[in-house]
Chains A and B, each alone.
Chain A
């Protein structure tokens, strides 16, 4: 099955009450399949076909504020159109679940994969988790609701998967039984956001300068605190649903996935489906005696500083491989890795490799070259792998 359909299956099984989506480009097969499920009665959700992504996220906001479980999915320009509402959702502490099929932003017009869309939303107060495989798409979608709806978190979450490079790939994954999913993720019981005529309530009112900072601080505290919740949910899920197909997911989910990092001198740091290709290249390099590993970032918001510090402690050379950029500065992940290494008083040499923008294929040769350049060191801080 396609990875996008892995998401559809997961959304079906978490039993959302409301699905709102805009059906035209840059939409994907995810909501197409979900609309079929709603039409033939396999899902009891209300499916709202809206007129834009702005309306999609607004409809989810309205639904979630009445105390029900809401879902939407989008990509690239669609996410950009949601931007304003993203902050309102997180500020109102509404645990909406969204899938972002990561695709480039225009101009020039481009429908293909990179991470510029969701990276532009990293400061919107949404949790961000990224998948490498179809299995991880399924698993993270189920887990995102358990995390977001936790009473100590109550923040919206997005799961990112690479457009086309993963979303349109047919590959095997395992689907647990519905009753086991129900057991893991019971019905959503709202605690704070329950709009009801009998019990009038105002949500998202004005926050005067006298209160705004305090409210933002509670949001930031909840985000920081969610690291522990995520870890717990990851562990619980991994134990309840042990890995069935080797290589399709980590045995135990964690904020990061380490691949051959035990004695690594050189490390790749990357996000998403490119990690699969990196693992294959690492196997070849290891067979030649190179001490090289990969740290895959699964949880990007909240940023797992301590986990990364620990993992990169003894590494001498680090290649941060990114499908995003910040014109006028280095890539977002690169900056954050540098920041934590500074805190850890590390003397590792870190370099930023920009790959795969706008769907440019990331070849194994690219990854081999990145390794050679990172190992040799003393080059430009930022390299573009065309």
Chain B
């Protein structure tokens, strides 16, 4: 089983990203489970969401305490919450940032940096980075195919918005691959 924890801020779409990932993973033939932690729902407040991916139905219902993968939608969260708390040794940490892995001083983790905000602004005209980060997720992990993410994005959004988000997924995917 792979456990994924998403860290974002209210309004960035972390909860939606988790559900898209779950739908995509299921379409890819895996069993998935996604759920958020609900707090006081304010724009900008730290938000956490969880995804589990396995080859059989996932029964456990506890939160993810020891993630294999961290998807960080907002790098300023490092100052506010213990983003890597409980993460497995060698966990993959994907950060939306203009910085470099060494800036984050996270020894023992496999840190990848991607400027998803820039790409989101270019394609969507605003800084909602959830689908961009899923492009990076597909590229860095290979756990879910990019096509499956396309499908799940189409289920989530109306056609215009879906097309833009698919374009964004592709752009970030390519950037992360190279």
Contact = CB atoms under 8 A, between A and B. Distances in A.
A276 interface: yes
Contact of B59 (A112, A170, A279, A363): A279
Contacts of B65: 363
B61 A165 contact: yes
27 contacts: A162-B61, A164-B35, A165-B35, A166-B61, A168-B35, A168-B36, A169-B34, A170-B18, A170-B19, A170-B22, A170-B32, A171-B22, A171-B32, A171-B57, A172-B26, A245-B57, A246-B56, A247-B56, A274-B61, A276-B60, A276-B61, A277-B59, A277-B62, A280-B59, A363-B65, A364-B60, A364-B62
B62 A363 contact: yes
B60 A277 contact: yes
Contacts of A170: 18-19, 22-23, 32-35
Interface of B: 18-19, 22-23, 26, 31-36, 38, 56-63, 65
B149 to A, nearest CB: 15
A366 to B, nearest CB: 8
Contacts, number: 63
Interface string A142-179: 00000000000000000000101110111110000000
A276 B59 contact: yes
A169 B56 contact: no
B33 A169 contact: yes
> Does more than half of chain A's interface fall in helix, strand or loop, or is it mixed?
loop
Interface residues of A, number: 27
A169 B33 CA distance: 7
Contacts of A361: 62-63
Contacts of A166: 61
Nearest to B19: A170
A323 B31 CA distance: 28
A185 interface: no
A355 B106 CA distance: 35
A171 B33 contact: yes
A169 B35 contact: yes
B38 A164 contact: yes
A368 B24 CA distance: 33
Contacts of A171: 22, 32-34, 57-58
A50 interface: no
